[in-house]
Amino acid sequence: MPGMAAGGRILLAYLVYFAAIGAAFPYLPVFYRDIGLGLEQIGVLTAMQAAIQLLLAPIWGGLADRFPHTRMTLPLAAAVATVGAIILFRATDFPTVLVGSLILYAGISGIAPTLDARTLETLGEGRRSRYGEVRAFGSLAFVLSTLAVGFVLDAEGARSLFWIYIPFLVATVAVTATIPRRGGGHQSVNLMRGAGEFLATPGVALFLVGFTVVWASLSAVNAFYSIQVVALGGSAGLVGIAWAVGAAIEVPLMYAFPRIAGRVGTERLVVVGSLAFALRSLLASVIADPIALVLIAPLEGLGFACVFVGGVTVLAARAPAGLQGTAQGLFAGASGLATIIGSVVGGVLAEALGIAGLFLVGGALSLVGTAVVAVALLSRRNPDRIPRPA
């Protein structure tokens, strides 16, 4: 790839990395159940993975800012993830699954925030609103991979997801190692001081609180969504279709995000996305047909496109010079904290109330988080509202 421009390499990185995510994210809970793990074990496992993300995502992002001219942070994170995936592939019991998944997520926690920060860095300050156009290629890869892997699992069993997952992680290492840095005139930034400076920006801390509540509810629902599809009589192929349909909605929405935000406003789109998560959870709580769970999956895609792309854009606009990695690392850390809360509480609620009861509680909590996000982003006292793109 020596002749490929930095933008092309970033697009390729999104394609191979999210092809890997599409092979694993919807199906790891099915794999865990297939090797005999219980619902509470799955909840604890997901929470431990999220704890690693909470701890390490800000560190990975901070390292990218601490060493603004090295390109090795991103491929190193992908290499760590690959080692974890290989261990997980060979796992047959809970202790080995735990070790493999923790190593896997030690690497995963650094890939997305660092890749997002590298993308914003490459786009430059004047074109950051176009981040969604780039990220859309990742969702497209997720859709295609999820569909293909669902049918592979139907034919070959849950462990076969790693036949696709591991090679695409290896490809992520290779591709990200070629992406150049554009550190410009930015100086090395102290990790703790940079994080403190960013969190002191008006509206940022409150937004991260509201986002954490919304994402915790989403994490709880997502952790058991695939299991519910199967429990209601659906196949692994139908699980793949459910996730692919949701992600398919993300692709055009992310690509058109700069233009939609120019008309509606980025902050409003984040609030709309949070409401979409709540609606999907509430509807899922009363559905008893796996096909119907597929039919409401587009709400998750709408929510993800608006909340994730909007969140990245909101924080990028508020991050001081040289702190893009720190900003995206803290965003990923907040999602890790949310996943811990959602997974632990979700596992307990699923055992106590059933998965439908968990979905109902998750929908109610999403509404609470949405209200906090709205106050943080739409308050007239917030001086850092993102200007609409021209």
The pLDDT tens digits of the residues spanning 229-251 come to: 888 888 877 887 887 787 778 88
* Confidence category of residue 389, pLDDT binned at 50, 70, 90: very low
pLDDT at 386 over 60: no
pLDDT at 382 over 70: no
> What is the H or E stretch that residue 179 is in?
none
Angle, CA of 350, 225 and 260, to the nearest 5°: 125
Q: Number of folded domains in the chain?
A: 1
pLDDT digit string, tens, across residues 200-216: 677 788 999 999 999 99
The pLDDT value recorded for residue 277 is: 95
* Confidence category of residue 16, pLDDT binned at 50, 70, 90: very high
pLDDT at 228 over 90: no
Is 51 or 103 the better-scoring residue by pLDDT? Answer: 103
| CA separation for the pair 118, 108 (Å, rounded) | 16
**Least confidently predicted of 4-18, 125-139, 207-221:** 125-139
Cα dist from 4 to 12, 125, 130, whole Å: 10, 22, 20
Average pLDDT of span 357-381:
89
Query: Is 83 part of a structural domain of the chain?
Result: yes
Query: Is 270 part of a structural domain of the chain?
Result: yes
User: Closest by alpha carbon to 278, among 203, 220, 355?
Assistant: 220
Query: Is 243 part of a structural domain of the chain?
Result: yes
Domain CATH code at residue 373? 1.20.1250.20
Alpha helices in the chain (DSSP H): 6-24, 28-34, 39-66, 73-89, 94-123, 131-156, 161-176, 191-199, 204-231, 236-255, 257-264, 266-284, 290-295, 297-304, 310-318, 324-378
The pLDDT value recorded for residue 192 is: 64
Query: Is 255 part of a structural domain of the chain?
Result: yes
Query: Is 196 part of a structural domain of the chain?
Result: yes
Is 60 or 91 the better-scoring residue by pLDDT? Answer: 91
**Least confidently predicted of 147-156, 195-204, 290-299:** 195-204
Q: Which residues contact 31 (CB under 8 A, 6 or more apart)?
A: 158, 159, 161
**Least confidently predicted of 25-29, 128-132, 157-161:** 128-132
Average pLDDT over the chain, rounded to whole? 83
Cα dist from 163 to 15, 92, 265, whole Å: 17, 16, 42
| CA separation for the pair 61, 282 (Å, rounded) | 35
pLDDT digit string, tens, across residues 78-126: 999 999 999 999 988 889 999 999 999 999 988 988 888 888 777 766 6
Average pLDDT of span 375-386:
64
Query: Is 386 part of a structural domain of the chain?
Result: no
Average pLDDT of span 258-272:
90
Query: Is 302 part of a structural domain of the chain?
Result: yes
Backbone dihedral region of 176: left (phi > 0), alpha (psi from -120 to 50 degrees) or beta? Answer: alpha
Query: Is 390 part of a structural domain of the chain?
Result: no
The pLDDT value recorded for residue 8 is: 81
- Domain of 162, in residue numbers: 6-181+190-378
